[in-house]
A and B are shown apart, each in its own frame.
Chain A
Amino acid sequence: MLRPYIVQLVALLALAVIADAFAVARSVISSGGGYLVEYSSSFDPMPLNRLFSLNIVIKPNKQSGRPSPLVNVDARMPTHNHGMNTRIVVQKLEEGHYRADGLLFHMPGHWRITIDLTDERNVTEQVVINAQIQND
Chain B
Amino acid sequence: MPKSKTTKACGLIGMLLCCNVLKAGPVFPQEAVAFSQAEVRQILRLSPLPPLPDDPSNAVADNGTAALLGQHLFFDPNLSSSQKIACASCHIPHEAWADGQKTSQGVRRGRRNTPSLLNVAYNRWFFWDGRADSLWSQALQPIESPDEMNGDRTAVLHYIRSTPHLYELYRTLFGNLEFLIQPRKLPTHAQPATAAKRDSESVQAWEAIPEETRTRINDAFANVGRSIAAFERRLVSSNSRFDKFVDGLRDGDIAKQNALSLNARKGLSIFLGKGNCTLCHFGPTLSNGEFHSLGLAPPTYASWTDLGRLTGVGALLRDQFRLTGKYANAVGKQIDLPTNFLVESPELAGKFKTPTLRNIAKTAPYMHAGHFATLRDVVQFYSEFKGADLADHHRETVLQRLRLVPDEIAQLVEFLESLTGEDVDIALTRPPLLK
Contacts and interface: CB of A to CB of B under 8 A. Distances in A.
Interface of A: 48-49, 51, 77, 79-83, 85-89, 101-102, 104, 106-109, 135-136
B397 interface: yes
A108 B347 contact: no
A51 B334 CA distance: 12
Interface centre among A82, A101, A104, A109, by most chain B C-beta atoms within 10 angstroms, is A82
Contacts of B309: 85
Contact of B340 (A102, A135, A136): A102
B41 A136 contact: yes
A104 B342 CA distance: 11
B335 interface: yes
B278 A104 contact: no
A46 to B, nearest CB: 15
A20 to B, nearest CB: 16
B263 to A, nearest CB: 24
Contacts of B282: 48-49, 108, 135
Contacts, number: 70
Interface string B127-144: 000000000000000000
Interface in B363-400: 394-398
Nearest to B44: A136
Given A86-B338, A102-B340, A107-B280, A49 B45 contact: no
B152 to A, nearest CB: 32
A101 B341 contact: yes
Contact of A83 (B291, B347, B395): B347
Given A106-B288, A108-B282, A81 B341 contact: no
Contact of B341 (A49, A80, A104, A107): A104
Given A107-B280, A136-B45, 11 more contacts: A49-B290, A80-B396, A85-B342, A87-B345, A89-B341, A101-B340, A102-B341, A106-B288, A108-B279, A108-B282, A136-B42
A80 B398 contact: yes
28 contacts: A49-B288, A49-B289, A51-B336, A51-B338, A80-B397, A81-B394, A81-B395, A81-B396, A81-B398, A82-B347, A83-B347, A85-B290, A85-B348, A86-B341, A86-B342, A88-B341, A101-B335, A101-B340, A102-B338, A102-B341, A104-B338, A106-B288, A107-B279, A107-B280, A107-B290, A109-B279, A136-B42, A136-B45
A6 B335 CA distance: 28
A135 B347 contact: no
Contacts of A80: 396-398
B427 interface: no
Contacts of B341: 51, 86-89, 101-102, 104
Contacts of A87: 341-343, 345
Contact of B283 (A49, A77, A104, A109): A49
B291 A85 contact: yes
Interface in B262-303: 278-280, 282-283, 288-291
Contacts of A82: 347, 394, 396
B307 to A, nearest CB: 14
Interface centre among B42, B280, B283, B398, by most chain A C-beta atoms within 10 angstroms, is B398
B433 interface: no
A118 B41 CA distance: 43
Interface centre among A81, A85, A106, A135, by most chain B C-beta atoms within 10 angstroms, is A85
Contact of B288 (A79, A86, A102, A107): A107
Kindly list the 4 A-B residue pairs having the minimum CB-CB distance in the complex, ordered from nearest. Answer: A102-B341, A86-B341, A106-B290, A136-B41
B24 interface: no
